[in-house]
Structure 1
Amino acid sequence: MEGRMNMSEFWKNINTYYKRYGLHATIVRIMDKLTGQSRVDYMTWYQKTKPTKQVLKIQRETTFPYMPEILVIVLENKSGSHRLADSLKNQTYSRWKLCKTRELNDVVEILKEAKEEYVLITQPEDELSADAFFQCVKSLNADRTIEAIYSDDDIIKNETEYEEPAIKPDLNLDMLRSCNYIHNFLLVKKKLCQELFEECLESWNGQIDWKYDFIFRCIEEKHSIHHIAKVLYHRNVEHVQVCDEQERKAIDMHLKRMNIKGNVEKTEYRGIYRVRYTMEETPLISIVIPNKDHVEDLKKCIDSLEKKSSYDNREYIIVENNSTEEQTFAYYKELESKCPRAKVVYWKEKGFNYPKINNYGVRYAKGEYILFLNNDTEIQNPDCLEEMLIHCSRPEVGAVGARLFYEDGTIQHVGVIVGLGGIAGHPYATEAEETLGHMGRVHMIQDLSAVTAACMMVKKTVFFEVGKFEPEYAVAFNDVDLCMKIRKAGYLIVYTPYARLTHYESKSRGLEDSREKVKRFDSEVALFEERWGKELEKGDPNYNPNFRLDEKDFRLNVHVRR
């Protein structure tokens, strides 16, 4: 973290990256830093990573065991463009057919007569990459259960250049409810496409974004949707008028079909929406706060909750961890006498073990929901707890994380990316508060692979179902490990930017600057790699292999494989 990281932290990060990715990748990382190649503009990246003429030649000569025919339906408009049609001629996979129409109503009849197995409905001024259909068919041969495919894309700048890439995660329910990140390229099994058009055409009456609605209907029936992490589509936005209200209604109708109560609101960021789920009950939240001395920090944390929080049904479980200062115990006594919702419990073991301390605190929790909270945090907004609870109370969600800021207002946490920096890291750490992030992700509700336990709400039933915190991770990666277990059990991890806190990080514990601490950290790295090696190798599904793992700002990776 520039501006915050001492040399000990820097070499620890280099060491972690080396142990995870090896000597060659570490040397490449250092050389990129020295030569300024760690950051490239999009067109430079695109030219370096797109398939070469030789690769395209090999693709044209490739025969797959499964060779489906693809129907491309172009909804013509006044643009008069032939860009899409021209790009079809360059496809390395040749089993496609083009059909043009001016009316959406004609699509049903076209689908009824079509013999092709997959369908792409698009517009004439967009463009397909030469390998678009090849990559789709390659994926279909690897997994015949796939029913729909989307890819990364960008925007056409002029005849030869592209800009504003959308480098996407795999299917992300909460991100899709925040914005239409899938856009125009969705190759769908013809049978599914026909069923949805016959069912829904009448409801697409100009009051709703039909493409967005179509995507939602695909996921509602649990159809298998696959993401190809390659830029296969170029969008022309010059002739497209995106109507915020039509998109908002698409999200709203999706919620209604799913029998989910809530309101969909526009935000200050165009194309990004906020779902406010209806909370019909006010269950007890047990806030577990480990503490060792640092009374001023703890007092600030409790005071912020007492003075600001609008959610009343909460309790505090302060887990005392080997404090030595008299004022600490005096504060405990004062707190319990003046604040009926506060209870201090005493963890008797020596040393610092975050999982054991928090697992011990949960024993005393009476609430259905546990909020693990560092003692060096302060809530910023009164509805902070409600914002986390409305997501955590959803049946499909296991844990929820918040947006955390350093004392100077810069970003400390907007989620965790597994594999970043070697094991796991915080994207956009130390960036300015107003940072949008790639595709605006800093400011949208979304699913992630992990969130920090500095402020993490978990269903108590789920916490026990997955086996609680793992004591072998005494300090590092215990929260990431817990989130990985929760995801493996089938639950979502949600990040909400609407729960905001200040986090005075590392005041309680200090830096990893002793030989003993480095040894302990290395053992925790090794343990995480042993348990989650396959997941690290596969990559975080809520990130993208086109991004670097040694930079925190969703930076494009020029070394990505073609």
Structure 2
Amino acid sequence: THEVIISFADIDNPLIIFKKSIQWTLNWAGEHAAHVFSLKLGTYNRENHCHLHLSIFSLTESDEIYAKAVVNGVAAKDNSYNAFLLDKPLPAGKYLCVIDSPDADHENALAVYVTPRQNIQLAATREDSDAIPRLTLPDSETYHKWYELNRCNKYQLEAQRRQLQEWQAPPLISVIIPTFNSHPEWLEELLSSLHEQTYPHWECIIVDDASPTTAHLEVARQWCKQDARFHLVQHLENQGVSSASQTGVEAAEGLYLCVVDHDDRLEPQALFEIALVILQKQPDVIYSDEMLVDENGQMIRCEFRPDFDYHFLLSHPYIIHLTLFRREVVLKAGGFAENLQVSQDYDLLLRVAATTQDFYHLPKVLYQWGHSQAEKVMSNSLAAINQHLRMKGFDETEAWAAEGQAFNFFRVRHKISPTKVSIIIPTRDRVDLLKTCIESINRKTRIPKGVELEFVIVDNDSTCTDTLAYFEELQAMGVLIVKQSGAFNFSLLNNKAVKQATGSMLLFLNNDIEIVEAEWLEAMLELMAWNDVGIVGAKLVYPDIGTIQHAGVLIGFNGAAAHDHQFDL
């Protein structure tokens, strides 16, 4: 029998030990030496033929292993604390603890439950949350190193040119560049980067919008003389960037077209990569990743865009550069809206997305963008989203756009139809958690008009008298208590409840959830109003430290899956 000196009873975040190890520091200040480590493990309800190795290094004496222990996966208990018997007593001191599994694989692997502050201190509060590890973007130097390792070298560029000799009927790509009082040096860099493309089957239409200055026009004319693929079109009167872009669309002869800002640059392989996608996929829209650069052309960071997500596009214009459209799709959508001077590209994207969602993400950095923000971005983007909703058949009372919580982020609001939501909560004792969960729902939730809530509690062999008494209180209030005996099986418990639930919407909730935002249910039901949406999740945060527990799930992380944005603000 061992006395428990320190307990991590609130730890509930499993990390799979597969190929990688986990480690944390331990400041052991106990009066007596430690003989046993008890760590909560996850077995995924299966017998795992692998081992967990715990190695403890002294941080004050040497870098050699001070003590070690092994747990056999076959004997490990799921969702329970398992004993690691140390081969020698651990006196007070500072240690580094490392756990790995040399024989884990896809079929045999254990998870260790960890806490976000385990490597800093034993408890955390909001007041000292500055010490919590943050998920932050890499610095510019790190991005630059990545870029140098991944950019095309001269041998790869030459290989692309050789490969092109075997292509049959390579597509013509139209590059449209609106200009107005452009810096000659910047335009020179852009046109030079286009001239250096390994893919030669392109045309460039430079549309100047009646610029008062003319130095950049001399740059354009020189390139037109040097290379017949360059063309200069001049407006007699200033009409705005949308009109200039539309002039380019109407003059374009390519199967696909793109609009490029006059102060940006293309990577030399950009059009080759685009043409390759055209030949293989023939999508309606192609977009790539990009890098942001400052006025001196120095890298700020890379922007790695996600694959196409219609609902994300409605909340944030994340598709920017390099974006190519099938020309006939642009014309069918009506081209650029000439009344917009800002967000005209986002407006076109949404009008195209109203007719097709054949978008292809090319996950390569092909574009250098001189990033800037404009005052009218928010209002014009809101107008573009609302126009898109009208095109999708929603009137102003059914769906509308509102500003989000950050610059250039938005939220599409929906009228919620009358419905019944069955809230399913599995539990075994822990009446304190269950009571907090239910009371927070009843006290804090803003229930939309016409929405009815139904609670279905699944009791998995609770024995505590306080829990049983609380069940009686709930039943007196009309709450359905479903009994399910036997070993814990989360899927079985929920399936049992679903058979007795009467709601058209099913909300699966853990018993340790506490509601903090009044609009949570309203926001989830609004997303469910879309015909193509069948499941909606929510962001969960740690109660003591205010960081994210998860905002979705990443497949493939840690060899299986993991929470997205975990421990971020």
Task: Give your verdict on TM over 0.5.
Answer: yes
Is it true that 1:290 corresponds to 2:426 in the alignment?
yes
Aligned match of 2:360 in 205, 226, 238? Answer: 226
Aligned match of 2:279 in 131, 134, 141? Answer: 141
Is it true that 1:274 corresponds to 2:411 in the alignment?
yes
Kindly tell me: are residues 404 and 121 of structure 1, through their superposed partners in 2, closer, same or farther at Cα, counting changes over 3 Å?
A: same
Q: Deviations over 1:49-80 (max 9, x none)?
A: 11222111211221233411111110012222
Partner of 1:321 in structure 2? 460
Aligned match of 1:235 in 369, 382, 389? Answer: 369
Q: Provide the rounded CA distance (Å) in 1 between the counterparts of 2:320 and 2:346.
A: 8
Give the residue type in structure 2 aligned to 1:332: F
Deviation, 1:290, is: 0.4
Q: Provide the rounded CA distance (Å) in 1 between the counterparts of 2:317 and 2:103.
A: 34
Partner of 1:420 in structure 2? 557
Deviation, 1:355, is: 0.8
Partner of 1:336 in structure 2? 475
Q: Tell me if the contact between 2:354 and 2:392 (Cα under 8 Å) persists in the aligned partners.
A: yes
Q: Provide the rounded CA distance (Å) in 2 between the counterparts of 1:415 and 1:14.
A: 26
Alignment of 1:88-487 (within 5 A): 88-103=194-209, 104-105=242-243, 108=246, 110-144=248-282, 146-196=283-333, 199-201=334-336, 203-206=337-340, 209-238=343-372, 243-260=377-394, 261-279=398-416, 281-311=417-447, 313-337=452-476, 339-340=477-478, 342-348=479-485, 350-408=486-544, 409-431=546-568, 435=569
Higher strand proportion (structure 1 or 2):
2
Q: Deviations over 1:467-489 (max 9, x none)?
A: xxxxxxxxxxxxxxxxxxxxxxx
Kindly tell me: are residues 195 and 222 of structure 1, through their superposed partners in 2, closer, same or farther at Cα, counting changes over 3 Å?
A: closer
Deviation, 1:251, is: 1.2
Give the residue type in structure 1 aligned to 2:368: H
Give the residue type in structure 2 aligned to 1:56: L
Deviation, 1:3, is: 7.2
Q: Tell me if the contact between 1:184 and 1:211 (Cα under 8 Å) persists in the aligned partners.
A: no
Q: Tell me if the contact between 2:207 and 2:247 (Cα under 8 Å) persists in the aligned partners.
A: no
Relative contact order, higher structure (CA 8 A, sep 6+): 1
Q: Tell me if the contact between 1:208 and 1:250 (Cα under 8 Å) persists in the aligned partners.
A: no
Deviation, 1:368, is: 0.6
Is it true that 1:72 corresponds to 2:178 in the alignment?
no
Partner of 1:43 in structure 2? 144
Q: Deviations over 1:192-234 (max 9, x none)?
A: 22333xx255x43037622101111221112421100111111
Q: Tell me if the contact between 2:243 and 2:338 (Cα under 8 Å) persists in the aligned partners.
A: no
The gaps in structure 1 that reach 5 residues or longer are 23-37, 436-562
What SS does the aligned partner of 1:400 have? coil
Identity %: 28
RMSD: 2.9
Q: Tell me if the contact between 2:249 and 2:335 (Cα under 8 Å) persists in the aligned partners.
A: no
What SS does the aligned partner of 1:47 have? helix
Is it true that 1:57 corresponds to 2:158 in the alignment?
yes
Q: Provide the rounded CA distance (Å) in 2 between the counterparts of 1:300 and 1:239.
A: 44
What SS does the aligned partner of 1:305 have? helix
Q: Provide the rounded CA distance (Å) in 1 between the counterparts of 2:40 and 2:471.
A: 38
Deviation, 1:121, is: 1.4
Give the residue type in structure 2 aligned to 1:277: H
Kindly tell me: are residues 14 and 52 of structure 1, through their superposed partners in 2, closer, same or farther at Cα, counting changes over 3 Å?
A: farther
Q: Provide the rounded CA distance (Å) in 2 between the counterparts of 1:248 and 1:361.
A: 42
Q: Tell me if the contact between 1:92 and 1:134 (Cα under 8 Å) persists in the aligned partners.
A: yes
Q: Provide the rounded CA distance (Å) in 2 between the counterparts of 1:16 and 1:151.
A: 39
How many equivalent residue pairs?
Answer: 409
Q: Provide the rounded CA distance (Å) in 2 between the counterparts of 1:307 and 1:352.
A: 30
Q: Provide the rounded CA distance (Å) in 2 between the counterparts of 1:58 and 1:21.
A: 41
The gaps in structure 2 that reach 5 residues or longer are 1-12, 14-22, 27-38, 43-51, 54-72, 74-98, 109-136, 210-241
Partner of 2:56 in structure 1? none
Partner of 2:105 in structure 1? 19
Give the residue type in structure 2 aligned to 1:19: D
Partner of 1:547 in structure 2? none
Higher helix proportion (structure 1 or 2):
1
Q: Provide the rounded CA distance (Å) in 1 between the counterparts of 2:376 and 2:302.
A: 18
What SS does the aligned partner of 2:191 have? helix
Give the residue type in structure 1 aligned to 2:473: E
Give the TM-score normalised by structure 2: 0.67
Q: Provide the rounded CA distance (Å) in 1 between the counterparts of 2:103 and 2:243.
A: 54
Give the residue type in structure 2 aligned to 1:143: K
Q: Tell me if the contact between 1:87 and 1:129 (Cα under 8 Å) persists in the aligned partners.
A: yes
Give the TM-score normalised by structure 1: 0.68
Quick check: 375-384 or 80-89, which moved more?
80-89
Q: Tell me if the contact between 1:16 and 1:421 (Cα under 8 Å) persists in the aligned partners.
A: no
Q: Provide the rounded CA distance (Å) in 1 between the counterparts of 2:244 and 2:338.
A: 13
Q: Deviations over 1:377-414 (max 9, x none)?
A: 11111221111111123211010111111121221111
Q: Provide the rounded CA distance (Å) in 2 between the counterparts of 1:216 and 1:294.
A: 49
Deviation, 1:422, is: 1.4
Q: Provide the rounded CA distance (Å) in 2 between the counterparts of 1:18 and 1:273.
A: 44
Q: Tell me if the contact between 1:152 and 1:229 (Cα under 8 Å) persists in the aligned partners.
A: yes
What SS does the aligned partner of 2:161 have? helix
Kindly tell me: are residues 21 and 102 of structure 1, through their superposed partners in 2, closer, same or farther at Cα, counting changes over 3 Å?
A: farther
Q: Tell me if the contact between 1:177 and 1:273 (Cα under 8 Å) persists in the aligned partners.
A: yes
Kindly tell me: are residues 106 and 296 of structure 1, through their superposed partners in 2, closer, same or farther at Cα, counting changes over 3 Å?
A: closer
Q: Provide the rounded CA distance (Å) in 1 between the counterparts of 2:423 and 2:103.
A: 34
